[in-house]
Every structure is written in C-alpha cells, then in structure tokens.
Chain A
C-alpha cells in the first residue's frame, strides 16, 4: 500500500470480480439444482431464484415450498458471507482471483442455525433476496436475509442465521476440517 499504483482498467477489475463470484456460486451443486444466480453491483449481491415447477410445494394454490424458500434464503446468506470474505482477500491482494486453484482452496462458512420467518406464501414468480451481515467475527457471524417477489417492500420471507467461519490459516486458508465439528474444538 506504500506505493501508489496506476488504477487497473475497469474491465479487468470487473472480470476478476465476476470470475471470483462465479467460481463461488457455480461450484455448489445445490445452488445449480435450484437455479439460483446472483446479480452484482460492486460488492452488493442480489440472489435471484427464477420460478420453476419443481419449487412448488402446494400445487393447489400454487405456492413455493417452504423448504425451497428456506434453502434460497440460506444460499443467499452463505454466499453473501463467503463473498464478503472473498472480496476482502481479493481486494487486499491476499488471494489471486485469477487462479482457479486459489479459489478452490477458499472454504465456505458452515451454518450453525437458521431461523426462517414466513410472511406470506411464495407466489409462482421469480424471487429475490439480499443478505446483510450484522456481525462478522473471527469465528462466528450473524446474517439477516430478506426475500421478496414483485415488491421490494413486501417481503415474503426473512431469516437470521449464525455461521461458523472457515478457520483462517496464514498460509492459504486450507486448514478446514469441513464440518461443524470444529465448534467443539478448543
């Protein structure tokens, strides 16, 4: 940070950030299964769940399954949290976002608990969600997420979750046991 570098061309920065986000999202099979994708404006993410028949819970109404809504909110929360960690690593130059290997070594936070508040039934339309990190500590994080369909101010569901952060290793952050078992470790 001591030397002032020439600013990078905007396209290079965009490509790097988009590639990093893509690797984070495309690597998770369940996100692909549900068909969720993310819109990015700077570091702000919006999760998009395009409507699909297989998301229906009650075919009589029809309404989106409560489980699909819960999964969508949890995906939005985990990706927001992972993205904020990745963004920091990337922007401070600790992680080379152009290296697929470095991105693969990046570990995801684990859900400790997740509480979903169903406000109205999910209609057979696209759904959107945005998450807000209320606290992000070294070991734990608390994230709130809101989901809506046609009107941003008429939420159909919201949730709060607590997450166990991936263990940060100074030599690359690869030291994850990959489970919530880490909670019990001293």
Chain B
C-alpha cells in the first residue's frame, strides 16, 4: 500500500495541468485524497468580483477524484474520468485557498465511484461538490 501511495503521489504531482494550476497534494489514504489550490489571479472567472472560474474548481475536483481512485485499496494501474457532475453552491471567496476532499466510496471490477467536496477557508460552507464515475484499470493478476 505504502508503495502504491508513493507512486500515486509521484504521479499526481507530475501532472502538468495540476502543476500549472499550482495544486498541492495534502493527504492520501485508502480511497481518500485531499488536494489544495492556492488563490491565483490568473484563474479568475469573473473580473468584476475576482471569483475563481468554475473550470479551475472543476480541474481541482477532477484531480482530487483521480487521486482518490488511484490510491484505492484495489491498487488500480490507471484511471480516467467517465463522467463528472459538478454543483456550484457559492462563489469561492477571492484570495482564499481552495481544498478539495475526494472519496472513492465504491469500486466495481472496472468502474470507480467518487464524491468530492471543495471548500475555501470557511470549511463549514462548501463552495462546490461533485460526483463522478471513473474507469478502473486493474494491474495484471489482481482480482475484482
């Protein structure tokens, strides 16, 4: 498990798009990942308010979800998003760091199901939440 976690950590931090968005991996446990994204004026979606673009929040949640799948106990070899449904509850407060917590709550032989919630520095009121289905490519010889 530890071996896989290290690999997942290396994998996630090597994703060019995640790096470009300044994402930081904060926690990785069996089927659980926490990824943060510091505020950056380049990611603003509404110049009138300084609120981060929904697309950047989606990218954060997709990354956290993929990481949660990759560190699931079944030790997948690879994953890709099949579908992601995002709800935007409120605008993220400008200037604040965003944190996405993703949980891979169920896997079948070939599909992983994930829920993810994003908060800013006020963790009591979520900014966005998503549910997703991901492909699960198993390593040779592993069983579903």
Contact = CB atoms under 8 A, between A and B. Distances in A.
Interface string B86-98: 1111110000000
A85 interface: no
Contacts of A117: 83
Interface string B30-55: 00000000000111111111011111
B80 A118 contact: yes
Contacts of A54: 16-17, 19-20
B83 A71 contact: no
B48 A115 contact: no
Chain B interface, >50% SS class: mixed
Contacts of A118: 80-84
B73 interface: no
B27 interface: no
Interface stretch (A11-19, A37-45, A104-112, A140-148): A104-112
Nearest to A71: B55
B63 interface: yes
A113 to B, nearest CB: 5
A64 B81 CA distance: 11
Contact of B81 (A27, A55, A114, A116): A116
Contacts of A179: 49, 51, 90-91
Interface string A59-103: 100011111101110110010000000000000000000000000
Contacts of B88: 110-114, 180
Given A54-B20, A65-B18, A180-B91, A70 B84 contact: yes
A170 interface: no
Interface string B63-103: 10010000000000010111111111111000000000000
A53 interface: yes
A108 B45 CA distance: 9
Interface residues of A, number: 45
In the complex, which of the residues B14, B52, B87, B88 has the most CB atoms of chain A within 10 Å of its own CB atom?
B88
B101 to A, nearest CB: 16
Contacts of B87: 112-113
A107 B46 CA distance: 9
Contacts of A121: 80
B17 A178 contact: no
Interface string A118-153: 100100000000000000000000000000000000
B56 interface: yes
22 contacts: A27-B47, A28-B46, A28-B47, A29-B41, A30-B55, A33-B42, A57-B18, A58-B15, A59-B15, A65-B62, A66-B62, A67-B61, A68-B17, A68-B59, A70-B62, A70-B86, A112-B87, A113-B87, A114-B85, A116-B86, A118-B83, A179-B91
Given A29-B43, A70-B84, 15 more contacts: A28-B46, A29-B45, A29-B47, A31-B53, A54-B17, A55-B16, A56-B15, A59-B14, A65-B16, A65-B63, A70-B86, A75-B53, A113-B88, A178-B46, A179-B51
Interface of B: 14-21, 41-49, 51-56, 58-63, 66, 78, 80-91
